[in-house]
A and B are shown apart, each in its own frame.
Chain A
Amino acid sequence: MAEHLDTSVLVTLQEVMEAEYPVLLDTFLVDSEERLRLLQAACRSGEAESLRQAAHSFKGSCSNMGAALLAELCREMEESARRDQLDEAPVLIERIEREFAIVRILYRAERQRWGGPG
């Protein structure tokens, strides 16, 4: 069962980014909001290929940041879009939105632990 946030990944990120760690988290959150908008637009337009690519990209980004469950949901979306099964899409989008909301809270908490505005 995938976690909301994989702490071992976070540790690695802290080691790599050092002082830039909070900046990374901020950047991810801003970036992800944009990606989510793209995802919703693609879903509404019914273009399977755009949906697939958007989901793929978001998946990659999430996995880098340790948001494992979110990454898994994106993978499912990517798979559906690849198989052209767009009727499942709205449901999946909703689940992604909900998961992202949770993850955002967790990242903000993480940010505060490091000191600085959430």
Chain B
Amino acid sequence: MPRRLSILIAEDGAADRMLLAAIVRQQGHHVVTAANGAEAVELFERERPQLVLMDALMPVMDGFEAAQQIKQLAGNELVPIIFLTSLTENEALVRCLEAGGDDFIAKPYNPIILEAKIQAMNRLRRLQATVLEQRDLIGRRNQQLLDEQRAAKAIFDKVAHAGCLNAPNIRYRQSPRALFNGDLLLAAQAPAGRMFVLLGDFTGHGLPAAIGAMPLAETFYGMTAKGYSSNQILRDINAKLKLILPVEMFCCATFLDINLEQGILRVWNGGLPDGYLLKTVNGARLPLRSRHLPLGVREATSFDDTFETLPLALGDRLLLLSDGLLESCNADDQLFGEQRLLAVLESNSDPATLFDDIQEALHAFHGQILDDLSLVEVSMIAEPGAVAPHLLHVYPLGSRELRPRDWSTCFELRPGSLRSADPLPMAMQLLLQISPLRYRVGTIFTVLTELYANAVEHGVLLLDSSIKSDAEGFASYYRERQRRLDALSEGFVSIEFTVKSEGANGSLRIAVRDSGPGFDVQCALNQQYCSESLGGRGLRMIRQLSERFYWEPDGKVLNVEFHWSGHA
């Protein structure tokens, strides 16, 4: 659509200039005129016209020079320059183009053609202006997005790093970019001397993937601190992700439930590449295979939280990796792949260097440090006293008056609940109410867990822990445990808490009773004292950790006491 423009006419012939100006004015445009190139440049600077009609040959400064200067002054904006010249000289035409001319018009001037060319140039000019506007808009929006991402990432880091990834037995390699690309690495000390480690890999990248990771991390840390079992934590995480993630998003994950005290590793892998348990005793390499769908896919009712159980000993190592590692490409578009990884594992002779060997192999393959993968090594090292469970999400009470306590409570679990319920988190919540004992709640929980496991497995299910003597026995013990639990129709375990305090002194007594045949506790204690067999150190530990450990003669009720004095 014809629009009114401001046009500069540079032409040295007076009659021609007058004629051209008249033609252009008649078409409705605003005209300024110059008689030579220098005047043209000066006028351009002053008036900033939107289009220029430029005679090629002029005194003082010719059209080519003037055109170049004007184009420079215009910068990013498009100010079309139409040269006034004869069409018979190709050389001149080339010069016009090289000088920045956008079009030509010949003498004698044809008003119709002139207007058509002016309007065509005007469309180009407006297009360029639009492009510049949008470029600036895009630039601003992009900057906004980057700022938001940075903020989100800062929040995410706080949540994702609340755990114990700094524990001395964990080594990991994870870049910030991997983090924000959906890789998640969490580790927490659970009560009862266990450690939970979760490696997750969300579908997608950037903000959407990271957002899914936040509720997962919160659930993981929150429930671990409250003493929930790894099965329950996994179920809750799955349910939460299923609820909030869109259909096409999910989280491949490996969950490690590490109990070095008991020598038990429980592992759940849904969708990640094989992890590895490297046994120090015989150099065996046991793969931790994916046997489940990733988290956030199945409904709660059909979610399979079955863990695989493996024996764990001092000196063993666990290796986990995300598929960013296997699928990383080098400059020739080759995948690193599982074969190369296995080759590194094969050729490694000292487990202590395995983590570094893998990193070196990656570096050699790619020729550079990669940014987008996760590699974790957890080694089973003895930590005398150092691995005191630090309580997450437990806030210290203000100073309160010492008040007398005198209460007891008891609950009993029968087959239905023995199968499906876990009383320990609830017990944990109760124990946390006893403020003088808060600092020892981890220890108490460890003892309680052992008592409960003992009552269920040996009292009610009548399992024989001597089966757990090797890896195969381990697996079959836990399979049998599950089978008997599923088939259970009678029996019970009851837990009783009694708390008494007066002034600064007090005690907690825990009594665990089961419906089993009972056993000779002293005999078992003596036996366990001598043997180093897997899973046989429980009773000894109970005695070591408590102030008093005593039992009914028939062995059906075990009692432990924890005392405090002089603590506020």
Which residues of A approach B to under 8 Å, CB–CB? 9, 12-13, 16-17, 20, 23-24, 27-28, 30-32, 35, 53, 56-57, 59-61, 63-66
CB-CB < 8 A to A35: which residues of B? 13
* Residues A31 and B15 in contact, CB atoms below 8 Å apart: yes
Partner of B19, one of A17, A32, A53, A56: A17
Interchain residue pairs A-B with the least CB separation, the first 3 = A28-B15, A60-B107, A63-B108
Q: Given A56-B86, A64-B109, A20 and B57 touching (CB < 8 A)? A: no
CB-CB < 8 A to A56: which residues of B? 57, 86
11 sample A-B contacts, Cβ–Cβ < 8 Å, listed by A number: A12-B111, A13-B19, A16-B19, A23-B18, A31-B13, A35-B13, A60-B13, A61-B13, A61-B16, A63-B107, A65-B15
A interface: dominant SS: helix
* Residues A64 and B19 in contact, CB atoms below 8 Å apart: yes
Closest chain B residue, CB of each to CB of A9 = B108
Count of interface residues, chain B, beta-carbon cutoff 8 Å: 16
- Answer yes or no: B60 CB below 8 A from chain A CBs: no
Among B12, B15, B18, B109: residue with most chain A CB under 10 A: B15
B interface: dominant SS: helix
Q: Given A30-B14, A31-B14, A63-B108, A57 and B57 touching (CB < 8 A)? A: yes
Q: Given A56-B57, A63-B107, A64-B108, A27 and B22 touching (CB < 8 A)? A: no
Closest chain B residue, CB of each to CB of A34 = B14
Partner of A64, one of B12, B15, B26: B15
CB-CB < 8 A to B12: which residues of A? 57
CB-CB < 8 A to B14: which residues of A? 27-28, 30-31
How many whole Å from B21's CB to the nearest CB in chain A?
10
Which residues of B approach A to under 8 Å, CB–CB? 12-16, 18-19, 22-23, 26, 57, 86, 107-109, 111
CB-CB < 8 A to B19: which residues of A? 13, 16-17, 24, 64-65
* Residues A64 and B22 in contact, CB atoms below 8 Å apart: no
How many whole Å from B519's CB to the nearest CB in chain A?
120
Tell me, in angstroms, the Cα distance from A66 to B107 when the chains sit together. 11
Tell me, in angstroms, the Cα distance from A30 to B26 when the chains sit together. 24
How many whole Å from B62's CB to the nearest CB in chain A?
10
* Residues B107 and A27 in contact, CB atoms below 8 Å apart: no
How many whole Å from A107's CB to the nearest CB in chain B?
11
CB-CB < 8 A to B109: which residues of A? 64
CB-CB < 8 A to A30: which residues of B? 14
CB-CB < 8 A to A27: which residues of B? 14-15, 18
Given A57-B13, A63-B108; 8 other pairs, CB 8 A cutoff: A13-B19, A16-B26, A53-B57, A57-B57, A61-B13, A61-B107, A64-B16, A64-B19
Tell me, in angstroms, the Cα distance from A20 to B18 when the chains sit together. 9
How many whole Å from A72's CB to the nearest CB in chain B?
13
Tell me, in angstroms, the Cα distance from A13 to B12 when the chains sit together. 19
Closest chain A residue, CB of each to CB of B12 = A57
Q: Given A53-B57, A64-B107, A24 and B18 touching (CB < 8 A)? A: yes
Tell me, in angstroms, the Cα distance from A12 to B109 when the chains sit together. 10
CB-CB < 8 A to B108: which residues of A? 9, 63-64, 66
Tell me, in angstroms, the Cα distance from A35 to B15 when the chains sit together. 12
* Residues A17 and B15 in contact, CB atoms below 8 Å apart: no
CB-CB < 8 A to A12: which residues of B? 111
Tell me, in angstroms, the Cα distance from A63 to B111 when the chains sit together. 14
